[in-house]
Amino acid sequence: MTEPSTAPRTALVTGAAGFIGYHLCRRLLEDGFRVIGLDSLNDYYDVALKDRRRAMLMQSDGFSFVHAKIEEPGLLMGLMADERPDVVVHLAAQAGVRYSIDQPRAYLEANLIGAFELLEAARAYPPQHMLMASTSSVYGANTEMPYAETAKADSQMSFYAATKKANEAMAHSYAHLYGLPITMFRFFTVYGPWGRPDMALFKFTKAILEGAPIDVFNHGDMQRDFTYVEDLVHGIRLLIDAAPVRPESAESIAPGDSLSAVAPWRVVNIGNSEPVQLMDFIRAIETATGRSATLNMMPMQAGDVPATWADGALLQALTGYSPRTAVPEGVARFVAWYRDYFQA
- Binding residues vs ligand NAD (CB under 6 A): 15, 17-21, 39-42, 50, 69-71, 91-95, 110, 114, 133, 135, 187, 189-190, 196
Give min distance, CB of 178 to ligand NAD, in A: 22
Give min distance, CB of 6 to ligand NAD, in A: 31
Dist CA 269 CA 135 (whole Å): 8
Complex with ligand NAD: residue 51 or 257, whichever CB lies closer: 51
Residues 6+ apart with CB under 8 A from 219: 297, 298, 299
CB 325 within 8 A of CB 240: no
Complex with ligand NAD: residue 262 or 323, whichever CB lies closer: 323
Complex with ligand NAD: residue 42 or 316, whichever CB lies closer: 42
Dist CA 257 CA 162 (whole Å): 25
Give min distance, CB of 86 to ligand NAD, in A: 21
Complex with ligand NAD: residue 92 or 175, whichever CB lies closer: 92
Give min distance, CB of 95 to ligand NAD, in A: 4
Count of positions (residues) in the chain: 344
Complex with ligand NAD: residue 21 or 140, whichever CB lies closer: 21
Residues 6+ apart with CB under 8 A from 264: 175, 179, 180, 181, 182, 243, 244, 245, 246
CB 14 within 8 A of CB 20: no
Q: Which of 99, 160, 191, 321 is catalytic?
A: 160
Output the residue with the shortest Cβ distance to ligand NAD. 18
CA distances in angstroms from 335 to 92, 204, 290, 325, 330, listed in the order given: 26, 10, 10, 15, 9
Give min distance, CB of 195 to ligand NAD, in A: 8
Dist CA 273 CA 146 (whole Å): 8
Complex with ligand NAD: residue 39 or 230, whichever CB lies closer: 39
**44 among known catalytic residues:** no
CB 116 within 8 A of CB 92: no
CB 39 within 8 A of CB 67: yes
Residues 6+ apart with CB under 8 A from 248: none
Complex with ligand NAD: residue 21 or 193, whichever CB lies closer: 21
Strand positions, DSSP E, 148-291: 182-187, 190-191, 213-216, 223-224, 227-228, 265-270, 276-277
Give min distance, CB of 1 to ligand NAD, in A: 42
Looking at residue 307, the DSSP 8-state letter turns out to be: B
Give min distance, CB of 154 to ligand NAD, in A: 18
Dist CA 215 CA 297 (whole Å): 6
What is the three-class DSSP state of 39?
strand
Taking CA 109 as the corner, what is the angle to CA 105 and CA 113, rounded to the nearest 5 degrees? 140
Q: Give the active site residues.
A: 160
